[in-house]
Amino acid sequence: MSYKTYLVMLTVSAFGAFWLTPFAAWLARRCGAMDLPDKRKVHSRPMPRMGGVAVYLGFLLPWAGLYLLHNPIAQEFKNYEKLFFTLVLGATAMFALGVYDDIKGADATKKFLAQSAIAVGLWFGGYRIEAFLNPFGGLVQVGWLGLPVTLLWIVGVTNAINLLDGIDGLVSGVTVCMAIALAVINALTGNVVVALMTVALAGACLGFLPHNHSPARIFLGDSGSLTIGVVLSCVGIISLFRDNGHAASPLISVPLILFGLPLFDTLRVMFKRWRRGVSVFHADKSHVHHRLLSLGLSHRQASWLLYGVAFATGTFAVLLTAVGIDRQLQLSVLFALLAAGVAALWKLRFRAAFDKTDKHVD
């Protein structure tokens, strides 16, 4: 029965987002939410950028059906109503911030303050980083650091997803991979309703993707990327950082691997900007997708390559969750060594092109 519910949630959210996307494009044009090309952008014509309207509504669409069902999942949902509606309120606030930015524009400071306020509200609503498993054994309680660590996670992941949104279809496809991995992780640990949250998000992004895949007819905009980011960050908290007594709770390496692509890209870019002596919020073309384009890859090729990375990290995170703690530590070390090796070989192979890209962003 649960698998049928997963399939229904995925299908309803996907078709909902697919059919709502033309409405989102029409609304963007009416509101003036158009992304104009410039020297930093990779598109050459004005594009509507409120695709988040379709993703947000597609994510919410299937949930009303749970009140019409009379199965164990519908009963279990009642235990998560507070968390779910807290997430809806937080996602709605982040969506509203994104819509404002898509239409009017907001500077980095205002967005950061608004995101922090939303994160505080989510913390009070129950989305709290409470504990994680130490790789060397034992459950580490975060204690009084819970609030700042939770704020850092929510705001960090939200902005990492936002910054990854640089080429056609990238965030939509990467989110599908990450959300499905989170759904499997929660299904394995018995958190069925939390798994449904990520299935609904995956479905909404999957339905939006045909309109957003290269050549895109509409962009996610901040209304989409911020909404996706906050949902992923919150589901990540209740999936991976809650002291819920599960023996199968994963090591801290699991969320770091699962969210590795957006977090690594953001941290690498911010470090390079800091080293060049410019603001870490200064926009440029130093993100991983820009580098792939500089190597001659098309939008589709770059997107699919990064889909593969997200699928690989998601699969590895699921594998870590499914094995014992001792094996988790061994596999985490193996993953770190493989990732470091691949990064080193990649840098050596394309050093000339990367150096050229770094000069262009100064």
Q: Which residues of the chain have pLDDT under 50?
A: 1, 244-249, 360-362
pTM above 0.75, yes or no: yes
Pairing mode, strands 34-35 and 47-48: antiparallel
Instruction: Check residue 76 and give its pLDDT.
Output: 78
pLDDT, residue 120, reads: 96
Interval 158-174: pLDDT, tens: 999 998 888 888 999 99
Bridge partners (DSSP) listed for residue 48: 34
Q: Write down the pLDDT at residue 109.
A: 87
Radius of gyration of the chain (CA): 20
Note the pLDDT tens digit of each residue in 83-131: 999 999 999 999 999 999 999 988 888 899 999 999 999 999 999 988 7
Identify the pLDDT of residue 282: 66
- Provide the pLDDT for residue 316: 86
pLDDT at 343: 63
Residue 248 pLDDT:
40
Distance in angstroms between the alpha carbons of the first and the last residue of the chain = 56
pLDDT for 45-54, tens place per residue?
788 989 999 9
Residue 207: how many other CB atoms lie within 10 Å: 26
| DSSP symbol at 110 | H
Q: In this predicted structure, what is the pLDDT of residue 72?
A: 76
Nearest to 169 by CA among 204, 101, 230, 220: 220
Rounded to 5 degrees, φ, ψ at 278 are: -110, 165
